[in-house]
Amino acid sequence: MAEFQFFVSGDVVEIKRFEINTAPKENIVSESVFDSDKTFSEEFSNSDRSDENRAYNLNANRNELQRMARQHFNEESFFVTFTFRDHYGMQEVSETDKLFKKFIMRLRYKQEKISYLAVRELTKLGRIHYHMLLNDKYFSERWAVEDIQEKQKAMGFRYDKHKDKQVQIKCEERKKYENELAEIWSHGFCDMMQMGSDNDNFGAYISKYMTKDLDLFKGHKSYLSSRNVKKVEPLKFKSIEDVPELLQDVVANFDVYVSEALKVADKPKKEAFTKTYFNEYRGRIDFLELNLKRMNLKL
C-alpha cells in the first residue's frame, strides 16, 4: 500500500509515491491525497541544518521555484539578467538584495503591475548577478515577436532563431527596451529576451541558474519573488470521486508510467521523468513528472 501526493503547475504534473511503513513509526508524517492540515513542506523547517540537509533543502527550493515559474509565467514573459558594474557585485548578498529590491520599487513606480521570480548566481570572478522571470504588460505589449521580425527586415537585419530560444539578434527595437530597463536598474547592465513558444518549461530554464554555493544562501532565501507569485500547494481532494481520471490511472498503473518515463530518459525534451530517492522521514519516495503538453494529455 502507498500514499500519493500531486502537484500541478502549468502543463506539468508531479506525482510522489510514499511507501507506507518504510521509515521508523515515530518518524512517519501522516500525509495523504485527501484533505489534511499537514503538508509535506513541513519537513523543511527554517532551523539551522548541516550542509547535507541544507543541500536537500536547496533541492526542495529548486522544485518549488520550478513550480512557481511554470504556474505564473508563459511565452510572453521576459527572462532578464542583471549584472553589476565594478564593486557592486562583490558585496554581501544582503547588500545586493537591497539594491535589487530598490530596483523593483523603481520599476513598480513606472510600470505598476509586474510579477517576478529571481535567483542569484555567482560569476567565475565571484560577483553576484541576478536572473529574473518578469511579467510586465508595458514591455510585452511593445515586444511582439512578429513586430520585431518585421522591423528587422525593414532595417535590413538578418532574422535568426537559435534552438530553443527567442530571436537573439539585438535589433534597435530590442536594445531600446534593454536600455530602458537598464536605466531603471542603474547598477550596471541588463540582457533581456522574451521566452517565446519554443520554451515550454520555464521552471527548468530559471532553476539551472540557481547557485550550488550553499554558503551564499546561508541565512537567505534561495530565490526572490513578488507577492503575487504564490507557491504551488499540493492538490487536495475530498473523495476519490474528485480525483481526475488521469491521476486515478497514474495511481493504478504507477509502475507502467515509470517504465515509459525511463524509455524517454535520454530525449532532450522528455514527455516524462522519474527518479527514486530516500528521505529520513518518509523512507523511499518514487517521483514521476508528466509534461501534459508534450504528451497531448489534459487533466
Res 106: pLDDT: 94
> Considering only CA atoms, which of 19, 39, 20, 22 is closest in space to residue 31?
39
**pLDDT given for residue 269 in this prediction:** 84
Amino acid at 136: D
In a 13 Å sphere around the CA of 257, the CA atoms on its Cβ side amount to 26
CA-wise closest residue to 217 among 101, 120, 99, 84: 120
Q: Which of 188, 142, 198, 201 is nearest to 167 (CA)?
A: 198
Predicted pLDDT at 276 = 92
Eight-state DSSP code of residue 268: S
Q: Return the pLDDT at 295.
A: 92
> Rounded to whole angstroms, how far apart are CA atoms 203 and 64?
9
- The confidence score (pLDDT) of residue 18 equals 92
Per-residue pLDDT, 44: 40
Residue 297 corresponds to which cell in the numbers above?
494529455
Tens digits of residue pLDDT in 163-207: 334 444 445 666 777 888 999 999 988 988 888 777 777 788 888
Check residue 51 and give its pLDDT: 59
Distance (Å, rounded) from C-alpha 237 to C-alpha 226?
28
What pTM was computed for the model? Answer: 0.78
For 41-63, how does the pLDDT look when each residue is reduced to its tens digit (9 = 90+)? 334 444 444 656 666 677 788 89
| Phi, then psi, of 15 in degrees rounded to 5 | -125, 130
pLDDT of residue 75: 85
pLDDT less than 50: residues of the chain? 22-49, 157-170
